[in-house]
Structures are given as structure tokens and as C-alpha cells.
Amino acid sequence: MLKYLAALPITLLAQACGGSEGHASGAGGGNVVNFGGSSSVSGGSGGVGNGNAGGASNGAAGGVAIGSSGGSGISVVDLESQACAGTKIEPESLPAVLQLVLDDSLSMDTKTAATNGRSKWEVTREALEETINNLPKNVALGLLYFPNMNTSAGTTPRDVSACVNIDAMVPIAALQDANSAARRALVASLEQTSPAGATPTHDAYTYGLNQSLLKTTLPGARYMVLITDGGPTLSLQCMGSGLLSMPQPTQPIVDSIRAAYVDNQVKTFLVGVPGTEDIGNQSHDDGRPWMSRAAVLGASAIAGCNVNGPAWCHIDLTQASDFSAALRKGLGYITRQIVSCSYEVPEQSDTGEAVNPSKINVIFTPSGGGPTLIEHNPTDVCSEGWQLQGGNVVLCPSTCERIQADSGSKFELLFGCDPIEAPIK
């Protein structure tokens, strides 16, 4: 079964039946994204990987536009009772390739009021292990720590290996099934890594992008995830003092994140760990503005955000009272962005019968509830419902986000009946 951070079993039913019509309406309203501190409004986040179903920064607000199994018109039970073939197929959403760049500098070994007696690194490691074990099998993931070694000051350009332990990078690999070799290698690397050294953020990001993410031949949309608790203390080519009191310029990192998206369509998510709000012991610089700008230019900004705060455009965890819970929520948010809600329509059923892509209905059964119709949306603006795009069934952003967030829900496609269209205006 396809498994998201919150498990989402998927079943595909290829069926033949007669067509009818039915309608349902939904109420409007946005979704609040809150990682423990300030909030921003997001109207949807599905289908980021293929550009068909909306992006994280421009999801449309909307309500529950899912038809009920009762009322006027044909019901879900009626549709299912007209089944002829009953062939079941398990589809998977389109693949995604993710490069994680993780700060394990010495400052990550510190504790804050929000870490409840543990270090920031211990909390981060635990949350990432959980996330890795629950990511869908069609995600490929690689992991680069920075610096993952003791570092020294430098006033002249040096190779990236002088301040980033590139030999310890876990190469990008498809995660496949639970307890796969790829998942075990990632978790083992987390267990074997300890905080040390300065913060060569730019070198690590550039290496992870150019030498890992852009070189892999695995299929799927590309994403970078940068997790850090502060600004860089070493600039590109390992130059700088490495001291917290002498932070390095951040604009070059922002420029690289922008170029990754403009030149290679790589979206970059940024996660600000507690400490980001005060990235210099003497200067007391706030690192959140540069990360917020980078999120906008890296095409991962949270809808309704303000680049200058307090509803930052990146995933800001600095105001969370419980860092562990906030980080898990932030990682879950990223997971929902990268896992597409696009499903390929097969050419034929398991019995060899041709599948007519113009005769599809989509059924959703929430946890603890009965089956409901997700209505076809024939309009130009897709917020609620589903559409057929490029031979794929694509859930609209708000519908996608709601389904992915429902643990234990069931999602089905019924082929053979004329689609029931929503009265969306």
C-alpha cells in the first residue's frame, strides 16, 4: 500500500457500469499551517511534484467539495453496485527525488527550553528516523550532513572536503519497501553522526545539489531540503573563522537556491531549527529573513506568508514550545508537498478489457466514515475535486491535502461510469 507520513492506503478499481449524475457542494475556507509559533494560511499543497495540481505557495482556499453517498442523484453504493469487472489495481503517485542537507554543527548539540532536556540534534535525529521509515516507497532520498567533521578557519579558497565530510554522504536511493537497505542505511547514518565543527551551509547545499541531486538518474521531480539552526559561519569554498560571533553572508546561499529552481526546476524547502532567530552571539542577527526569502525564491513558500515575518515563508520552528512535535509537523508538511496526487490511468484492466479514461469516478472513504464521491471539476480553476490531465487522474490541491492528512483513509478510482461533475462556480 502507498504510505505517507500519515498512512494512506490506495486501491484502484477498474469497473464497467452505466453513467448518471449527482451533485454536492462545499463550504469555503483556508487551512492554517502552524508549526508551533506563527501561522500562515494555506489553501492546498498537492501535486507539487508535477506542476499539475498546484503549488505550496499558491494553493487556493476551499472547503470540503466532496459529495455524500446519500441525497439526490446516484450514490456511491449505486455506482459500486453497477460494477462488472471488479478488477483491483494499486496505483502509486508519481515518484520524487529528495536530497536532505542536514546541519550537524556543534551548536546542534545544545539544549533549549523547547527540547525538554534533550539536544536539538537528538530531537532532530529521532524525528528524521521516523520520517524516513514512513516515506512512500516511490520516494528516493539522499542525506548529506554538514560539516560532519572538525573544521578549521580559512582565509583562502579550499576544496569542499576541507569543511564538509562528503565521504560520509548517503547516496540517493529509492526507499522501496519498509525495512529496505536504503532506509536502514539512512537511519544507521543518523545513529552514527554527532555534532561537531562550524557551519559551511553554502558548500554543503551546493555539493548536495550539483554532485548528488542533479546527477542521479532516478525518475521524479527534484527537491532539496535544508535543515539548519543558524546562519553560515564558513562561506563558499570553506572560508571564514567558523565562529558564531562572525557569521558569513547569506545572500549567496539565497542566490544558489533561486538558481536551482530557475535553472533546474529544483524546489528547496528550508527548516529553521531553534537558534535561527539569533545567529550571532555578538551581532544577534536574525536568520529567519534570509531563510524566508530563500523559500520564496526556491518555490516552497507557505501560502499567505510574509517574507519579513512573523508568518515566515519557510518552516520556522523557533517559536515552538515543543520542538519535537513542531519538527514532526514540519516534516509532515514537506512530505505532503513532494508526494504527488497524480495517478496514472491504466490502458486496460487485469482482465484485458480496455479502460475508457473519459469514464472515471473517484471515491474517498475517510477514517471511521462511509464512502463519498470526490466530484469531477471541469473548471479552469482546480481547488477542490479532481481532473484528468495528461492521462493521469490529478486531485486538486485542497482535496489532495485533505486526503493525504487522513490516516487510514481509502481512495478508489471507478472506471466505466460517466464522471459526476461538481457544481463548482
Q: Residue 30: what pLDDT?
A: 38
Closest residue by Cα to residue 265 from 58, 48, 47: 48
Sheet bearing 315-316, strands edge to edge: 170-174, 139-146, 96-103, 221-228, 267-272, 315-316
Is residue 144 located within the same domain as residue 104?
yes
Q: Give the Cα separation of 27 and 352 in Å (integer).
A: 41
Is residue 122 located within the same domain as residue 211?
yes
Instruction: Answer yes or no: is 424 within a domain.
Output: no
Q: Residue 373: what pLDDT?
A: 84
- The last residue of a domain, from among 338, 367, 390: 338
Q: Quick check: 287 and 301 in contact, CB under 8 A?
A: no
- The last residue of a domain, from among 305, 322, 338: 338
Following DSSP, what letter does each residue of 256-273 receive, concatenated?
A: HHHHHHHHH--EEEEEE-
Closest residue by Cα to residue 29 from 41, 45, 40: 41
Exposed, middle or buried: residue 167 (CB in 10 Å: 0-12, 13-18, 19+)?
exposed
Is residue 202 located within the same domain as residue 351?
no
Is residue 222 located within the same domain as residue 368?
no
Is residue 25 located within the same domain as residue 105?
no
Is residue 240 located within the same domain as residue 103?
yes
**One-letter amino acid identity for 229?**
D
Q: Residue 382: what pLDDT?
A: 86
CATH number at residue 111: 3.40.50.410
The residues facing 174 across adjacent strands are: 140
Instruction: Answer yes or no: is 275 within a domain.
Output: yes
Tell me, yes or no, if the pTM score tops 0.85: no
Q: Which residues of the chain have pLDDT under 50?
A: 1-32, 38-72, 83-90, 281-284, 424-425
> Which of helix, strand or coil describes residue 183?
helix
Is residue 53 located within the same domain as residue 192?
no
Is residue 276 located within the same domain as residue 378?
no
pLDDT in tens, 323-357: 999 999 999 889 888 887 887 777 776 667 777 78
Is residue 205 located within the same domain as residue 323?
yes
Domain, as residue range, for 185:
96-338
DSSP 47: T
Q: Residue 33: what pLDDT?
A: 61
- The last residue of a domain, from among 296, 323, 338: 338
pLDDT in tens, 124-133: 999 999 999 9
Is residue 149 located within the same domain as residue 276?
yes
Number of structural domains the chain divides into: 2
Q: Quick check: 305 and 292 in contact, CB under 8 A?
A: yes
Instruction: Answer yes or no: is 10 within a domain.
Output: no
